[in-house]
């Protein structure tokens, strides 16, 4: 029998919904392509073509194979928001969102999780080369001015924001604080990570 697929936590669905709304809004805002010569900021994350995998399934794949904690997806979303504000001339679009998400969650995992995979493994999960992910990591850190720490107050506010996204999308009927409550329990019980079992290597795929 194959290894059971872990159930996707609420934070993943909330991040997917928030990004889908952001993509829809940006599609209405502008249909202009990034200038070809621009290779810094969010433009550095731009792929040659749009990946066929949805952002929701992509997040599930990252969670399934890397076993990163659900908190990484909240902090990853914080990084996305900070990068958008740092580079307002660029938009999160279908051509760059997967690479942005992959890099953000990987960096969040390094900050939050005692046990985490290296860049090469994340690259294989995300369908990019190790060299490209190394470059994207440095671009993300540059955009964040290496400010990767997130306070508890900011963390809670983003949990609430993501909860609102679920309500706006119709995936939830009311704001219950479920995301923050579940992740607070997770943060207060780090000993669970000591028994974390990593799954086998993911199938090699390219989504670019």
185 band by pLDDT with thresholds 50, 70 and 90: very low
Query: Is residue 34 pLDDT above 60, yes or no?
Result: no
Q: What angle do CA 91, 92, 96 make, to 5 degrees?
A: 120
182 band by pLDDT with thresholds 50, 70 and 90: low
Indicate whether this model's pTM tops 0.75: yes
75 band by pLDDT with thresholds 50, 70 and 90: very high
Reported as a single tens digit per residue, the pLDDT across 129-155 is 999 999 999 999 999 999 999 999 999
CB 139 within 8 Å of CB 44: yes
Shortest CA distance to 111 belongs to which of 82, 141, 154, 134? Answer: 141
DSSP code string of 105-139: HHHHHHHH-SS---HHHHHHHHTS-HHHHHHHHHH
Q: Which of 135-139, 160-164, 173-177 has the lowest mean pLDDT?
A: 173-177
Reported as a single tens digit per residue, the pLDDT across 44-59 is 999 989 999 999 999 9
Q: What is the pLDDT of residue 170?
A: 62
DSSP code string of 4-19: PPPPPPHHHHHHHHHH
CB 18 within 8 Å of CB 162: yes
Q: Of the spans 2-11, 38-47, 80-89, 125-134, which averages the highest pLDDT?
A: 125-134
Q: With 0-12 CB in 10 A as exposed, 13-18 as middle and 19+ as buried, what is 106?
A: buried
Q: Over range 3-32, report the average pLDDT.
A: 79
Query: Is residue 62 pLDDT above 50, yes or no?
Result: yes
Q: What is the pLDDT of residue 142?
A: 94
29 band by pLDDT with thresholds 50, 70 and 90: confident
Query: Is residue 197 pLDDT above 80, yes or no?
Result: no
Which residues have CB under 8 Å from 40's CB, separation 6+?
A: 139
163 band by pLDDT with thresholds 50, 70 and 90: confident
- Interaxial angle between packed helices 55-66 and 10-29, expressed in degrees from 0 to 180 and rounded to the nearest 10: 150
Q: What is the pLDDT of residue 194?
A: 41
Average pLDDT, the chain: 81
């Amino acid at each position: 029998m194959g290894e059971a697929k872990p159930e996707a936590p609420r934070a993943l669905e909330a991040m997917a919904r928030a990004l889908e709304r952001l993509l829809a809004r940006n599609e209405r805002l502008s249909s202009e392509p990034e200038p070809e010569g621009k290779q810094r900021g969010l433009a550095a994350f731009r792929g040659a073509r749009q990946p066929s995998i949805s952002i929701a399934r992509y997040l599930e794949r990252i969670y399934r194979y890397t076993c990163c904690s659900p908190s990484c997806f909240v902090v990853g979303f914080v990084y996305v928001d900070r990068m958008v504000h740092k580079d307002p001339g660029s938009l999160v679009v279908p051509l760059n969102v997967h690479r942005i998400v992959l890099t953000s969650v990987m960096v969040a995992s390094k900050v939050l999780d005692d046990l985490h995979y290296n860049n090469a493994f994340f690259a294989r999960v995300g369908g990019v080369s190790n060299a490209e992910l190394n470059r994207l990591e440095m671009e993300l850190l540059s955009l964040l001015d290496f400010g990767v720490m997130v306070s508890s107050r900011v963390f809670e506010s983003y949990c609430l924001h993501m909860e609102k996204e679920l309500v706006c999308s119709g995936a939830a009927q009311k704001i219950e604080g479920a995301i923050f409550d579940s992740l607070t329990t997770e943060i207060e019980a780090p000993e669970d990570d000591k028994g974390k079992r990593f799954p086998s290597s993911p199938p090699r795929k390219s989504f670019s």
